[in-house]
Structure 1
Amino acid sequence: MKDRRSLHLKVQEMCDCYASTDPLKEMSAMEKSASEDVEESAIKWLALAILHGITEGAEKISLTLEEDGSVNAKVQYRKATLPSPPSEVGKKAVEIIRQITHIETPKGKLPLAVGIRDSSTEVIIKLKKDNGKEKLTIKFPD
């Protein structure tokens, strides 16, 4: 039977599941052992990125899909690179955000509410597709 829960709900459930872990450590482990289920891995990476941004006071996290298929993740609170997800997981993460936000144009920006346990926060999702490159940015509240 196919799971009919929304992708937004799945991301929130994954945030809840990993809320008491070290998101950066979990993201690093994903580089070596991504699940065979690309969608589940992408949802997990998005949840961990959101949790890391919230717990570490990040300004924003960006995921860039390069023309050559590689994926780069960066966090802005200090010049640091996040563990990038495997290529297929990064691509799926961007697709999931496009589905959740319904941003179908090459560029778009929308708020996204994320419930975690007994609280919630609002992040700003920004997507930009240009010259074979696609970038997802998650901006966190001040």
Structure 2
Amino acid sequence: MKDTSSIHQQVQSLCDCFATTDPLKEMSNIALAPESQEAALKWIALAVLHGINNNAEKIALVSTKEGKVKVTAEYRTAELPSPGADIGKKIVEAIREMTHIEKDKEKVALAFGFRNNSMELKIKARHEGDDDKITISFPET
């Protein structure tokens, strides 16, 4: 049976499923997974959980034309596990689809909820040349 829920709903469901896991450990395993939209959505959910659990200000993913993907979190500068080039591109596509960002540079608010939590995430997307940057900003706690 095909899942007819939106990407947004799928990410929120994955947050619910992985809420009691170690997001960084799970994120480290994603680079080993086959390229798929499911792996990209799982990575997004784990990044959101990591941000919430560790009081992050923002998490940024940069995908370069050379195929490198770098992820950083800002609460203190720390590099997070990369999902790998193929899944990194899928993450950028999924976030753009979930937020309906079509311009090369745009900011949007994304209502996000799972379990008994709800918040507004700020999503910023930038596309320059062949490089993409997605930033998820978390509300102050």
Relative to the length of structure 1, the TM-score reads 0.94
Structure 1 outlier segments of 4+, above 3 Å: none
Letter in 2 for 1:42: A
Runs (5+) with no aligned partner, structure 1: none
8 Å Cα contact 2:35-2:86 kept in structure 1: no
Deviation at 1:29, TM superposition (A): 2.1
8 Å Cα contact 2:63-2:70 kept in structure 1: yes
| CA distance in structure 2 between the partners assigned to 1:8 and 1:37 by the alignment | 19
Counterpart of 2:126 in structure 1 is 128
Runs (5+) with no aligned partner, structure 2: none
Q: Aligned to 2:96, which of 95, 98, 101?
A: 98
Counterpart of 2:57 in structure 1 is 59
Letter in 1 for 2:135: T
Counterpart of 1:137 in structure 2 is 135
8 Å Cα contact 1:19-1:116 kept in structure 2: no
Residues matched between the structures, number: 140
For residue 72 of structure 1, give the secondary structure of its aligned residue in structure 2: strand
Identity %: 51
8 Å Cα contact 1:125-1:138 kept in structure 2: yes
For each residue in 1:35-94, what CA deviation from the matched residue of structure 2 results, as whole angstroms up to 9, or x when unmatched?
x35100000000000000011000100000111011111101111100010211110011
The answer to whether structure 1 residue 11 and structure 2 residue 11 are counterparts is: yes
Counterpart of 1:74 in structure 2 is 72
Relative to the length of structure 2, the TM-score reads 0.95
8 Å Cα contact 2:35-2:87 kept in structure 1: no
8 Å Cα contact 1:111-1:125 kept in structure 2: yes
Letter in 2 for 1:59: E
| CA distance in structure 1 between the partners assigned to 2:48 and 2:94 by the alignment | 14
Deviation at 1:116, TM superposition (A): 1.6
